[in-house]
Chains A and B, each alone.
Chain A
Amino acid sequence: MSLAVTLPPIHRERLSNGIELVVAERPGVPLAAARLVLRGGASLDPERRQGLAHLVALATRRGTRRRTGAQIDLAVESLGAELGSGVDEDATYYGISAPVEGLGTCLDILADVAARPTFPSAEVAKLRRREVAALAHDADEPSLLADRAMLQAAYEGHPYGHASEGRARHLSRATRGEVVSLHGAGHVPAAAILVVVGRVRTSDVLEQVRRRFAGWKGAGAVPPTPPPPAAPPSRIVVVDKSDVTQTQVRIASAGFPRRSPDYHAGAVASALLGGGFASRLMDAIRVNRGLSYSVRSRFLPSGEGGLFAISTFTKVETTAEIVKVALDETARFADGGPTQEELDRTASYLCGLFPLTLETHDQLAERLADLALYGLGEEEVTRFVERIRAVGAEEARAAARRYFPVDRRLVVAVGPAGKVAKALEPFGPVTVLPVGKVM
């Protein structure tokens, strides 16, 4: 099986104001996807204002010098388009997916939202109230609580150590002035990457982009990146959710940043351990023991560091068993490495899935934006298959030994502490946190 992964011809240029522009023209459905990325993201949240970058990303579309929030909503949606915005630890993202004939208007609105928001006081106050209330609903989702607690414990004290949605008590004190200030610091053309993909003509897109984005001035520099994070501490954290009958479990260890030379060996090792239905963890936990509906492992690489994480869940009574099985399987893999059959199968699986992650205009736009954000070349896509195929059994084992949670590991469990903390004591000292400490 071989699949040549090719990219459509890609036009790249840097506009005079500093915006990095990427345009890909490809056949397919008459849609276009545009993605505007601003370097920075939730790692720019000030001390005691976790969630501020997220609030900025939502607030920009609530009014600009030329349009009210309601006008933006109506203009976009009447074209059959959707405008989304969001934040992760490394960047703020605006995405729009539109029928090609509406692309010009959508780009105009995108430029307007990024460069010229007015942050009407009443709108910012409403958004702040809504986001604080939304966090209360998030607290009812055990899997979200587990992800939040893992980030917080793994990256304690580091700018990566919080969910981008932030915390209720921080957000509820955020002022409009803080929103304006963070927008000013991060939403500058020098920090911007704009990607357009679709059934478009590159020359048309260039003309549109130059017209709509050239007026975006701003002398600000690219925001600083955070320092590399320390390795997660070796500890056990139980978030006390006394009302659930199923425990959410995360097991984490230090991973690597996105540009790491271990990226491909890590991808293969992680897929062997916990990717797909035939992986070691799936076999041990779901198929052989019926302990869970799902288990997976993955690397979570960011700009300056990363994690390796195993995620699963099981009924409260079998919490200790699932942690033990997961740790045993992980250690067994790190010790012995994969068989040749496993290695070949996993490489085929990853290489077969890969083209399907680039099928739609939105998917390709997202991929090209990530490459630009992390300073990676097109060969990340075009030579993916070759690089995955080149990973040998010994390299996969070395990646597992280096990164998997064998000697040092952070275990996070969300469940009734009265039962779960005791069950996890054999794995090390347990810290119990109330839900409020992770929200």
Chain B
Amino acid sequence: MTDRAERILDVDAVRDHALPNGLRIRLLRDTSTPTVSYYTFFSVGSRNERVGLTGISHLFEHMMFNGAARYGPKEFDRVLESRGGHSNAYTSNDVTAYYEDFAADALPTVVDLESDRMRSLRIDEATLEQEREVVKEERLLRTENSVFGLMEEQLESLVFQSHPYRWPVIGWMEDIQRIGRSDCEAFFRTYYAPSNAAVYAVGDLDLDATIRLLERHYGDIPAGPAPVPVPQGEPQQRGERRAVIRFPAQAPALLAGWRGPPARHPDAAALDVLQVCLAVGESSRLRRKMVLEAEVAVSVSVSWGWRIDPGVFLAFVELPPGASPDRAEKILWAEIEKVAERGVSAAEVNRARALLRSGVLHELATHHGVAHALGQAEALLGDWREAGRALELYAAIQQADVRRAAREYLSEEQRSVVMLEPQRHAAGKAEAR
């Protein structure tokens, strides 16, 4: 399994380089399709924010598409699209990542566009106001009018009492409203400096020529100040935390979360295996017990996302309309306890490894997936080479590791629970004026 994995992503073929201003460059040549995927990772996400300015990382991501010194407003997408490329970006708790996928001959244009905005982004009041409105609409969409969005926001603020993971990546509405131009300028100087960034290009490219191209375009951008360290204080949880959301929904739901280890911890991979044993696929434990057998749930999913600091292991259960959540909860806790006490079978671990392996293969099947995997590995684990070791990591996880991880992280004392209680509207109530 390990050998095969290494042939799929040949980390020895990755060229790594750093410019004097600190910009890290990682390139991989793969000519299987005549395209290139170009990722820029900035080491900044909502974990680098503070109360009062929550959501600035995400709002800033929007600002990055609004023009710089050489390519003015609206030009970024127009120029890129006219060269057959497309781009997008995302902000997470830990990173902000931008990508372009394009035909290989557009590489100089893409480097020109990306270096232009890193060097000289325009931050003006009018653009900020416009993006603020767009982000408010995004928040209305993803959080305030979304059952899961509401529950997730509530849960994270229960699981984390002090750490910046406590607030949502998109930020609190009031903070989105408050962020000013000077906040954005200070943010840009620190977090969007080349010293805080890395470029990953994968595809049909010439390694030496690309290094020279990047040196020419990025070499004169000054390094920035070191970002301030992220506060890590978090009180030890000594008992279940619980919140209720009353919302006019059609059916109840339950979201539970536990604070897990940081991505660099060996248990992070054990929790991946546990996640698959619990809720990936029809034959997973929770899916079988709760959905197929006892019918206490319409759906159940578990999500464990690696983060730089200790992240959250989530279980989300959608219940049938009118159902009492008590039985679903009882089965959920019992199943988790069972794993913590008796562990999982060798067959379950093998099944999980096989599914995780397929997931890695799917991810590494495209230039885009490889470029992202390299960036993600470096951002979370400190080394892009880790992207080539995923299968090795999973192969090393044993039954005992899964059981220990369940016991260590998923205890009753350490869980947080958000219940969605559907609330029916009285007729005409919302129309009162």
- Interface residues of A, Cβ cutoff 8 Å to B: 1-3, 27-31, 69-70, 73-74, 76-82, 97-99, 126, 129-130, 133-134, 136-137, 139-142, 242-246, 276-278, 283, 286-294, 313-315, 341, 344-346, 348-349, 351-353, 355-356, 359-361, 416-418
B325: min CB distance to chain A, Å: 14
Contact check, B354 vs A30: say whether CB atoms are below 8 A apart. no
With A134-B298, A278-B81 known as contacts, the answer to whether A97 contacts B358 (CB < 8 A) is: yes
With A73-B282, A77-B282, A136-B251 known as contacts, the answer to whether A1 contacts B84 (CB < 8 A) is: yes
Contact check, A286 vs B134: say whether CB atoms are below 8 A apart. yes
B19: min CB distance to chain A, Å: 29
> Which of B161-169, B216-224, B257-265, B359-367 sits within the interface?
B359-367
With a cutoff of 8 Å between Cβ atoms, the chain A residues found around residue B362 in the complex are 29, 31, 97, 360
Contact check, B84 vs A80: say whether CB atoms are below 8 A apart. no
Closest to A361 in B: B365
| Residues from 26 to 68 in B contacting A, C-beta threshold 8 Å | 32-35, 65
With a cutoff of 8 Å between Cβ atoms, the chain B residues found around residue A355 in the complex are 33-35
- Interface residues of B, Cβ cutoff 8 Å to A: 4, 8, 32-35, 65, 74, 77-78, 81-87, 101-103, 105-106, 129-138, 140-141, 144-147, 247-251, 253, 281-284, 288, 291-292, 295, 298-299, 318-321, 347, 350-351, 353-358, 361-362, 364-366, 368, 425, 429-431, 433
- B103 interface neighbour in A1, A82, A360, Cβ under 8 Å: A1
Contact check, A416 vs B145: say whether CB atoms are below 8 A apart. no
- A70 interface neighbour in B84, B253, B288, Cβ under 8 Å: B288
**Assembly CA distance A348 to B248 (angstroms):** 46
Contact check, A356 vs B430: say whether CB atoms are below 8 A apart. no
**Assembly CA distance A144 to B332 (angstroms):** 29
With a cutoff of 8 Å between Cβ atoms, the chain A residues found around residue B288 in the complex are 70
With a cutoff of 8 Å between Cβ atoms, the chain B residues found around residue A137 in the complex are 147, 250-251, 253, 298-299, 318
- B81 interface neighbour in A76, A346, A360, A418, Cβ under 8 Å: A346
Interface centre among B85, B281, B351 (most CB of A within 10 A): B281
Contact check, A292 vs B358: say whether CB atoms are below 8 A apart. no
Closest to B137 in A: A293
A310: min CB distance to chain B, Å: 16
With A137-B250, A142-B145, A287-B74 known as contacts, the answer to whether A243 contacts B430 (CB < 8 A) is: yes
Contact check, B83 vs A1: say whether CB atoms are below 8 A apart. yes
Contact check, A3 vs B34: say whether CB atoms are below 8 A apart. yes
**Assembly CA distance A140 to B253 (angstroms):** 12
With A80-B358, A245-B140 known as contacts, the answer to whether A352 contacts B350 (CB < 8 A) is: no
With a cutoff of 8 Å between Cβ atoms, the chain B residues found around residue A359 in the complex are 33, 365-366
**Assembly CA distance A341 to B74 (angstroms):** 14
Interface centre among A126, A293, A416 (most CB of B within 10 A): A293
B136: min CB distance to chain A, Å: 8
Contact check, A139 vs B250: say whether CB atoms are below 8 A apart. yes
**Assembly CA distance A283 to B105 (angstroms):** 27
With A290-B130, A345-B81 known as contacts, the answer to whether A99 contacts B358 (CB < 8 A) is: yes
Q: A246-B145, A352-B85 are in contact. List 6 more A-B contacts (CB 8 A).
A: A97-B358, A98-B358, A99-B361, A244-B145, A278-B77, A293-B138
Contact check, A133 vs B321: say whether CB atoms are below 8 A apart. yes
With a cutoff of 8 Å between Cβ atoms, the chain A residues found around residue B425 in the complex are 242-243
B130: min CB distance to chain A, Å: 4
Sample of 29 A–B contacts (CB below 8 Å)? A29-B364, A31-B362, A70-B283, A74-B351, A78-B354, A80-B353, A80-B355, A99-B354, A133-B320, A134-B318, A137-B250, A242-B430, A243-B425, A245-B140, A277-B77, A278-B77, A290-B137, A291-B133, A293-B137, A293-B138, A315-B136, A345-B78, A346-B81, A348-B84, A349-B82, A349-B85, A352-B81, A355-B33, A416-B430
With A130-B295, A140-B249, A293-B137 known as contacts, the answer to whether A360 contacts B355 (CB < 8 A) is: no
With a cutoff of 8 Å between Cβ atoms, the chain B residues found around residue A352 in the complex are 81, 83-86, 102-103, 106
With a cutoff of 8 Å between Cβ atoms, the chain A residues found around residue B292 in the complex are 69-70, 126
Contact check, B358 vs A31: say whether CB atoms are below 8 A apart. yes
Contact check, B430 vs A82: say whether CB atoms are below 8 A apart. no
**Assembly CA distance A1 to B83 (angstroms):** 6
- B350 interface neighbour in A78, A97, A141, A142, Cβ under 8 Å: A78
Contact check, A28 vs B106: say whether CB atoms are below 8 A apart. no
Contact check, B320 vs A129: say whether CB atoms are below 8 A apart. yes
A257: min CB distance to chain B, Å: 28
With a cutoff of 8 Å between Cβ atoms, the chain A residues found around residue B253 in the complex are 137
Contact check, A290 vs B132: say whether CB atoms are below 8 A apart. yes
**Assembly CA distance A83 to B84 (angstroms):** 34
Contact check, A136 vs B33: say whether CB atoms are below 8 A apart. no
**Assembly CA distance A287 to B74 (angstroms):** 8
**Assembly CA distance A141 to B129 (angstroms):** 29
Nearest 5 CB-CB pairings of A with B: A352-B84, A290-B133, A80-B354, A242-B430, A418-B431
Closest to A123 in B: B292
A103: min CB distance to chain B, Å: 12
Contact check, B103 vs A3: say whether CB atoms are below 8 A apart. yes
- B248 interface neighbour in A243, A345, A349, Cβ under 8 Å: A243
With A27-B32, A70-B283, A290-B130 known as contacts, the answer to whether A345 contacts B351 (CB < 8 A) is: no
With a cutoff of 8 Å between Cβ atoms, the chain B residues found around residue A136 in the complex are 250-251, 320-321
Interface centre among A31, A80, A98 (most CB of B within 10 A): A80
Closest to B430 in A: A242
**Assembly CA distance A205 to B269 (angstroms):** 35
Contact check, B81 vs A29: say whether CB atoms are below 8 A apart. no
**Assembly CA distance A355 to B364 (angstroms):** 17
Closest to B81 in A: A349
With A242-B425, A290-B133 known as contacts, the answer to whether A129 contacts B282 (CB < 8 A) is: no
Contact check, A418 vs B140: say whether CB atoms are below 8 A apart. no
